[in-house]
Structure 1
């Protein structure tokens, strides 16, 4: 039989999982699913890590290199 501590811990874990799921949805909501430059899909992990992301890693690297070289 579960004691009150186990019950409380399970509830906390369920609430945390629900909040994290909500945050993931919110973070990816304004991000592009496909790169605006090349059209390749942007991985979900990148969309979660960088809210409002618009470019894939490769295109972002090219953009940053271009900016560095034109200063």
Structure 2
């Protein structure tokens, strides 16, 4: 049930769009290709098991964890509630 001047199903459409955006973002972060033998950040060797498990890996576990921690602190705001996004 939509409220105000919105049509029925508008809320579900917005939820679906948010999920689609999150999936597209996650897919864009997937790596492909040949894995690096040494971390691009700290030059530490990347274990063979990690290189086999994650195709195209470029960072060691510590550097990847630091990168993901920084990304979590930077983003996380749902901007779909703005009026501009409702015009989508």
TM-score by length of 2: 0.48
Let me know the Cα RMSD of the aligned residues. Answer: 1.1
Give me the whole-angstrom Cα distance separating, in 1, the residues matched to 2:70 and 2:42: 16
Distance apart, 1:48 and its partner CA = 0.2
Q: How does 1:47-58 map to 2 (within 5 A)?
A: 47-58=51-62
* Cα distance in structure 1, aligned partners of 2:34 and 2:54: 10
Match of 2:37 among 29, 33, 36: 33
- Scaled by the length of structure 1, the TM-score of the pair is 0.59
**What is the CA–CA distance in structure 1 between the aligned matches of 2:67 and 2:58, rounded to whole Å?**
12
| Structure 1 runs (4+) greater than 2 angstroms displaced | none
Runs (5+) with no aligned partner, structure 1: 1-28
1:30 and 1:70 map into 2 onto residues whose CA distance is 29
More helix by share: 1
Residue correspondences, number: 43
In structure 2, runs of 5+ residues without a counterpart are 1-32, 76-88
Corresponding residue for 1:66? 70
Q: Which has the higher contact order (CA 8 A, sep 6+)?
A: 1
User: How far apart are residue 60 of structure 1 and its match?
Assistant: 0.2
